[in-house]
Structure 1
Amino acid sequence: MKLLTKYTAIAAAVTATVSHYGWAQEQVEQNGPSKNLDFEQIIVTGTSRPKEKIESTNAMTTFGEQKLERLAPHSVGELVRSIPGFHAEDTGGETGNNVAPRGFPLSTQTEFTALLRDGMTVFYNQDILFTQNDRFTRLSNFVSNVEAIRGGASSIFVGSAPAGFINFLSREGEEDTKGDVFFETNSNNRLGAQAWVSGSIDEQTVYALGGWYREGDSARDPGYTANQGGEINANIKHFFKAGDGFTRFEFNKQDDKSFFFIPQPLTGTTTNAQTIPGGMDIRDGTTGNSAGARLLSLSNTPSGDINLDVADGNYADVTYIGNTTELELNDNWLFRNQIRYTDMLTTFTGIINVGNAESLADKARAIYDANSTALEGAMVDGNLKYQIRDAGTNFELANSENVGSFNTNGYGINAGFWHRRFEGDNIQNESKLTYTLEEVGEGSLYSTFGLFVSNINGQVTDYRINTLQSVEPLPQRLDIAFLDQDGNDIASGTYKGIQAGSHGFANIVYNEKTFAPYADFEYEINDLTLNVGARYETLKANGEAENGAAYQISSFSSDTDAVNGNIILPFGSGTYRNFDIEYNELAWTVAANYIVNKDFAVFTRYADGFRMPDVDKYMAITNLTTQEEIDQFNRSERRETKPASTVMAEVGFKYNSGDVAAFVTGYFAAADDLFFNVPTVENGQVVQRQAFRNTETLGLEAEFNLQLTEGWRAGLSATYQSPEFVNTPAAEFINTSGVVDSVEINGNMPVRVPKHFGQLTTSYDFEDFSWGMASVHASYSWSGKRYADDANTAELPMYGMLNVGLSLENEDGYYLRADVKNLNNSEGLSEGDPRAGETVAGQSNTFNARVVLPRTFTLTVGKRF
């Protein structure tokens, strides 16, 4: 499939290059950057009828074709930086990034927001841990424009997305043949191509076809090809002869892997982070990916053979097909049905630190103290004798006499080798009847009656194995072998680099059925629009979760010794706990929009929403110890599996006059019963501590566009908010003595949520030259001060990144773009370490944090026709 994707993209590129129709200039005139924030653009998202943006009762941000080109986002996270109210941590790479909307803290990646492709999610339950929506909803030049709803009617039109959703709208064919192809490279050895072509098959049928492929080292080179793969998109749309509707068929195939960056070991403090001497560099280093450390194989385990490779990273093999049919029944009734079937396999394979960098000498001593009888002969004249070896080759790297200078720092780190496999299929169907009544009193009534159904079959398998790694630019997996006075091996404290400590296992097979009728009404009287909507959703989930059991490595491996053979790993016991649960939730909203005059409109909205539980919550059944707890789980009474509830209130205005446009929204957002399975490191082991949080946020979102001169434009997307915990019990954590303690967190800021963030943009279009057009553009994105822990003891300072670009295009549609991401080479920390003290950070002289991606140069050469 990788070759098919690659050659299809290249073939499309060649086809597009051989012809042109002088279309480039026309497109710039039609789709140039709007100084009025696209208030006249027709909106199809989150509304009962298509309407101009200035008429909408939703807070929303739109992206046209040229705006997308100038932002040139390589990930959904990068795009989200341009949306006020949505704070993005885009440091995970091309996929796997975090989006925190309107002050909500996250227990997963995009818990309260949804990504849609042409009005429907690719996979309905789309925030399964390490299988989040930006893994299988990708950006490319086949996306013609984007509509992002913040709060508003999101809870009505999309389930479990109370904070908003982002709709990626694909290209569709027109009468004339059009297209675009480009090739790109960057300073990270990226080679890629994107292309699309569209046109007509006959007078009633149009088509669009697109594809992309790329491979490269990624911004933090792990020592191998980190990103590789591509996607094919296609649709055919047929208009009925009577002119009363259409039917549209779609196809998408993605086969791609992308590297996922995780917090790396640093020294100093979170306010003054520095590279550990001899370790991976804060600017371009990454964690745990040398040829030896990236592979992990275990044979004959109770769960079968395990062969893992970190090079697989975030892998996605996704296929979906679908149909949308719209039919005008009469002057008043319109029927629309959308169906989509998705088959998906995603895996996450990565090395995640589960502790801070520490002295290898201390690590060896701790192993000896825990196994002093078996290792008695390793104590020679009061000194412990051992070697540090490469776990793959058994080659000696250091010994007890020089370990302090190994890699300059003498450090090792507990590196969790984490692998999650999700395999499943999903069929979704949404039927809508829209009723229009032109004369209701002095106004018009637009009604939508919808029914959404979804069926998911899935399986999740987890392996989390604690290994020992060095701290260097490309870390190695290590063994610690203890020797007698003659230098002979006594035993090893590790097995293939696996050490005693934090390990995990999960295996669950499940089915989810969702049934959600909804209704939305809009009443328009002169310049006033009133909106009311409701959604009643039923979720039924059943399945079986395998119980775990503890196995000594010696029980399935024959090459162990008296020490490492006693290391215990969890695998499946072969016994299961069945579950059968049901939830019913109501979301509702009321809103109004009033157009004061052609330049000014005001709106307000109140929304009550929810977020349903997902498969990670169902796994909790394996942790229950009594039959009464299991019965409570199946009666849907366990707090950790209950839906989260949200409330949002908004008021704002839209203004456009002359050279100034503004869209400002004030909001209140609250969430109750947010469940966190907080990972806390205790004695080198990750201990999951259940926690519940309630939050409230007052905030202000703003978008401004200014036409400074004829060719010079400037824009601002910014958010200021005051998120805090409220009505939340004292949070438990493990103190430095290893004892469970608690701390009051009410009034504190939720983890990694800033008070202010935004993006400033500017562009200048030069007067046309004899050979074509030229423009320059720049953007500066920033994230304000945040905290790495609920107790607000570890500050993550404000940081900002500067992007600049240049675009040239001639009359025949040939163009060249040059972009630089993070020109100032910021070293900002997007997050602390969620696994080393989310409640209280407990920083030592070393800590882990994820750093923004380093400076990257990109060159693109293409042709429009």
Structure 2
Amino acid sequence: MKLRYLLLAFCSNAIVYPALAQSGSDTPKPASTAQVPEKEVFSTGVAKGRDRLDSATSTSAFRASEFEKLGPRPLGDLLRTMPGLRVESGIGEGNANYTVRGLPLAAGGSKYMQFQEDGLPVLEFGDIFNVAVDVFMRPDFNIAAIESIRGGSGSTFSSNAPGGVINLISKTGDTRGGAVQFTTGLDYGEKRIDMDYGQPLGNGWRFHVGGYYRAGEGPRDIGFTGYKGGQFRFNVTKQFANGYVRVSGKWLDDRSPTFAPYPIRITGTNDKPVISNVGNFDIRRDSLLSPFIGPVTTLDGDNKLARYDVANGMHAKSKSIGLEAQFEIAGFTISERARYSANSGDFLRIFPSNVGPIATIAASQAGAGATATYASGPNIGQVVPVGANGNGLLAFSYMAQTRARSLDNFTNDIRATRVWKIGKGDLTVTGGLYKANQKLYAQWLHSGIDTDVAGDGQTKMVNVTSAGGVAQTQEGYYTFSRNGSKFRRIFDVSYDILAPYGSVNYHVGKLSIGGSVRYDRGRVRGSLVGADLGGGRVGLTRFDINGNGVISAPETRVAFLPLDAPAPVNYNYGYWSYSSGINFRVAEPFSVFARYSHGARANADKILFTPAVSTITGGVTDPADKDDGVTQLEGGFKFRKAGATLNVTAFRATAEDHNVLNGSANQTIRSYRATGVEMEGSYRRGIFSITAGATYTTAKITRDQLDPTLTGKEPRHQPAWTLEATPQIELRRVTLGANVVTITSSYAQDSNLLKMPGFTVVNAFVVVKPIDRVRVMLNATNLFDQVGFFEFNQSEVPANGIGWGRSINGRTVSLSAKLDF
């Protein structure tokens, strides 16, 4: 608790102090900070790149020279260090949860913010079930910067982005050079190589190539190679006198484990819970994954027996080709961006549904007097002892195998901009047309298993037998389904989007006034297959899984897809987005701004398999179900002078949300309101520099249509404060620094009973340059090995003291050696 308040004071001073800094001639300009350098153009989510102090938007940029100091890390861990963003990571390489200053985290992924690479979306929807957009994105040496725009014109210059845009901008070979870096985990299993190179070729040609490859167990003990794969990217540019043409490509084939909520002890009170490890299971570095789990045994999308290796984990594949061009023609700046991506993969989550003492779990499945024996591992066939692993627990978990057969995406964005002299000012007019198609063809396949709860990658599957000797499991499987017949589904849907947009901005003297508008029209066609669609469709069936000619108890609990009874999906949608703002440059280093925006987000797979979509016609009766709107009012000031920056934005946002927390059984239809302030600043003097950010938010559920008792409650996982700071000392040959992130407490569920404690994570780095062009870097994530939770599955302190939650990873230390050439 003390560390949290010290950080709050530290960030407040770091943010406020730059505004008081004097502009003496001995103060050096920042060579490289996490903020946009002085007078640098910001281009994401706006009509035309311009100086931040002349734009009525709230934006940030994170340069490669800074985020590379944090070491090779998942995208979610990097974005946690950016102001205004709220990120729930700790789940693995992808599928983290993202939102922006007060907008709700009602379910996984990124609903309100769009993720882009070089100005085009990676997926049209960032919160597709089990396959969020970040599973197809990897930060590496190809990235020059990560830009974010929060609110503002992001809603009118991108579809499905009412909360803003996060854009990864690639290097393009403007200067000759590259690097190769080798990284090894010192206290965890991972080896990684990164490389990139680019250069001008003459006659207007230039290129850049880069990528990475890694393999290892990863930051948690799982007992097998969980991380394996890599990425390769390239671009080639031809520069002309009046513009350029660029071709780019990407190949990604990378697998990594997914970490789920794991067993913990929760005691104390709802307001002040006491969280501790269960015996011999460290929530920071253990998991329920092990070589003794699996394979995932289930019927596939054709109702044929299939087995999938647990080591496949989160296996993302993406192949893309893109074209970008920009030319000055007859006073117009015409830009064209197009990209086709073939995306697919297999995504496995193994998460507990029930955890308790061995006798309790066994009795719940096989009655009083049931026994538990090992179904895998070195003690196979032996009785599981009462105090097994020092905790005496069993877990019944679901193996959720999502097969994304196609998430192919095509996007084309063409726009034209011209600046006219009108009176003493400049009138900038932009018009554009956005065309996109997003395919969603995915199969949900589930099974349920019993396991013990063991650390060090030693979890084993368990069989349960009744007192009368009747087996209720088969090789550790209790069911080859989930919740009876539910959650066995096929989505085969295509989203076709057309969106014209335009903007006008008038800049005269110190004043800039502008507005933009966009109309999104969507055409949704396809079909659904699922046992939970009703209409007499097949649910459970009997299937001889092991082929011995005898149907066991779990073989009567096999989910079967009604392939001959699909339900149609056939509807259109349309919505308007608009934004207007005013900016006044009070003085060279200081400006004030205000902006009002309204945008929306089309509801994609989150309304499928719900009453919103008719299983007879495929239509959507209530137009309110088709999209969710976000309205934001923001205003603030920006200051930049002599190595110091300070940006402060107050905001008020309202949002609608049609969602599902865990399938159709937990549908939500809500409205939210949030108010607060976000602050970011940087300061550099001599060898010392610091960047810092703070976001204060107060939020409420203003209406819950399905559960009125939640109206007026605070949304789950909504901390009042999110704070980050990165102080550094840069000497000639050594750079020392740390990134510190704090989130304060929040409610585990919308019922506002059980609180998740806040926590602070310190990530430290040391960069040594023993000789020119060689750098050796030591990184420590979670330096002080703190425990912190992004998720509790319980809504209040459990009576038996056993719960499960998703924790940050424990301390990991890596060593890197980098050669620039």
1:127-153 deviation digits (Å, cap 9, x = unpaired) = 212211111121011101121101111
Which letter maps to 1:316? A
The CA distance in 2 between the partners of 1:172 and 1:813, in whole Å, is: 21
Compute the displacement of 1:561 (Å).
4.7
The CA distance in 2 between the partners of 1:792 and 1:300, in whole Å, is: 40
Alignment of 1:368-383 (within 5 A): 368-369=366-367
Larger CA Rg, structure 1 vs 2: 1
Which letter maps to 1:722? T
For 1:752, the equivalent position in structure 2 comes to 717
For 2:374, the equivalent position in structure 1 comes to 389
SS in 2 for 1:396: coil
Residue pair 1:294, 1:311 contacting (<8 A) in 2 also: no
The CA distance in 1 between the partners of 2:797 and 2:519, in whole Å, is: 40
For 2:19, the equivalent position in structure 1 comes to none
SS in 2 for 1:70: helix
Compute the displacement of 1:635 (Å).
4.0
Gaps of 5+ in 2: 1-27, 532-537
For 1:131, the equivalent position in structure 2 comes to 131
For 1:698, the equivalent position in structure 2 comes to 675
Moved over 6 A (4+): 299-302
The CA distance in 2 between the partners of 1:829 and 1:698, in whole Å, is: 24
Which letter maps to 2:569? F
Which letter maps to 2:380? F
Aligned counterpart for 1:422 among listed residues 404, 411, 414: 404
**630-639 or 216-225: bigger deviation:** 630-639
The CA distance in 2 between the partners of 1:31 and 1:237, in whole Å, is: 30
SS in 2 for 1:77: helix
Alignment of 1:102-501 (within 5 A): 102-106=101-105, 107-174=107-174, 176-186=175-185, 187-240=187-240, 243-269=241-267, 271-278=273-280, 280-287=281-288, 289-298=289-298, 303-330=303-330, 332-355=331-354, 357-369=355-367, 384=369, 386-390=371-375, 395-398=380-383, 403-424=385-406, 425-437=408-420, 439-473=421-455, 474-482=458-466, 490-500=469-479
SS in 2 for 1:620: coil
For 1:661, the equivalent position in structure 2 comes to 645
The CA distance in 1 between the partners of 2:301 and 2:704, in whole Å, is: 43
Compute the displacement of 1:571 (Å).
3.0
1:720-771 deviation digits (Å, cap 9, x = unpaired) = 110111133473xxxxxxxxxxx722332211111101112100112x3xxx
Which letter maps to 2:242? D
The CA distance in 2 between the partners of 1:542 and 1:821, in whole Å, is: 45
Which letter maps to 1:575? A
The CA distance in 1 between the partners of 2:668 and 2:382, in whole Å, is: 42
The CA distance in 2 between the partners of 1:841 and 1:573, in whole Å, is: 43
Residue pair 1:54, 1:601 contacting (<8 A) in 2 also: yes
SS in 2 for 1:397: coil
Alignment of 1:706-725 (within 5 A): 706-707=683-684, 709-725=685-701
The CA distance in 2 between the partners of 1:417 and 1:853, in whole Å, is: 22
SS in 2 for 1:572: coil
Q: TM-score, normalised by structure 1?
A: 0.85
1:468-517 deviation digits (Å, cap 9, x = unpaired) = 11112232221113465xxxxx4211123222562520012121100000
For 1:525, the equivalent position in structure 2 comes to 508
SS in 2 for 1:575: coil
For 1:66, the equivalent position in structure 2 comes to 65
CA separation of 1:678 and 1:177: change in aligned 2, threshold 3 A: closer
Compute the displacement of 1:286 (Å).
0.9
**119-128 or 203-212: bigger deviation:** 119-128
For 1:21, the equivalent position in structure 2 comes to none
The CA distance in 2 between the partners of 1:678 and 1:132, in whole Å, is: 14
Compute the displacement of 1:303 (Å).
1.2
> How much identity, in percent, do the aligned residues show?
21
CA separation of 1:384 and 1:108: change in aligned 2, threshold 3 A: closer
The CA distance in 1 between the partners of 2:518 and 2:797, in whole Å, is: 40
Which letter maps to 1:266? I
Which letter maps to 1:764? I
Gaps of 5+ in 1: 1-28, 370-382, 485-489, 680-685, 732-742
Matched, 1:856 2:812: yes
For 1:551, the equivalent position in structure 2 comes to 540
1:431-472 deviation digits (Å, cap 9, x = unpaired) = 1111221x2122111111010001233311001222211112
Matched, 1:783 2:743: yes
CA separation of 1:534 and 1:631: change in aligned 2, threshold 3 A: farther
SS in 1 for 2:386: helix
CA separation of 1:167 and 1:30: change in aligned 2, threshold 3 A: farther
Which letter maps to 1:703? E
For 1:774, the equivalent position in structure 2 comes to 734
Compute the displacement of 1:689 (Å).
2.6
CA separation of 1:453 and 1:302: change in aligned 2, threshold 3 A: closer
Compute the displacement of 1:572 (Å).
3.4
Matched, 1:584 2:565: no
The CA distance in 2 between the partners of 1:335 and 1:46, in whole Å, is: 16
Which letter maps to 1:267? R
Aligned counterpart for 2:803 among listed residues 829, 840, 847: 847
CA separation of 1:842 and 1:691: change in aligned 2, threshold 3 A: farther
Alignment of 1:603-614 (within 5 A): 603-614=593-604
Which letter maps to 1:667? F
For 2:587, the equivalent position in structure 1 comes to 597
The CA distance in 2 between the partners of 1:177 and 1:712, in whole Å, is: 30
CA separation of 1:562 and 1:714: change in aligned 2, threshold 3 A: closer
SS in 1 for 2:610: helix
Residue pair 1:337, 1:430 contacting (<8 A) in 2 also: yes
For 1:89, the equivalent position in structure 2 comes to 88
SS in 1 for 2:666: strand
SS in 2 for 1:748: coil
Which letter maps to 2:297? S
Aligned counterpart for 2:562 among listed residues 572, 597, 600: 572
Which letter maps to 1:851? S
Compute the displacement of 1:711 (Å).
0.8
Residue pair 2:745, 2:755 contacting (<8 A) in 1 also: yes
Compute the displacement of 1:305 (Å).
2.2
SS in 2 for 1:634: coil
Compute the displacement of 1:321 (Å).
0.2
1:23-45 deviation digits (Å, cap 9, x = unpaired) = xxxxxx99833497524211122
For 1:24, the equivalent position in structure 2 comes to none
Which letter maps to 2:56? T
For 1:6, the equivalent position in structure 2 comes to none
The CA distance in 2 between the partners of 1:523 and 1:361, in whole Å, is: 73
For 2:605, the equivalent position in structure 1 comes to 615
The CA distance in 2 between the partners of 1:620 and 1:421, in whole Å, is: 21
Which letter maps to 2:727? T
For 2:519, the equivalent position in structure 1 comes to 536
Aligned counterpart for 1:502 among listed residues 483, 487, 490: 483
Compute the displacement of 1:599 (Å).
1.0
User: RMSD between aligned alpha carbons?
Assistant: 2.4
For 1:22, the equivalent position in structure 2 comes to none
Which letter maps to 1:828? G
The CA distance in 2 between the partners of 1:444 and 1:666, in whole Å, is: 28
Compute the displacement of 1:80 (Å).
1.6
The CA distance in 2 between the partners of 1:706 and 1:132, in whole Å, is: 35
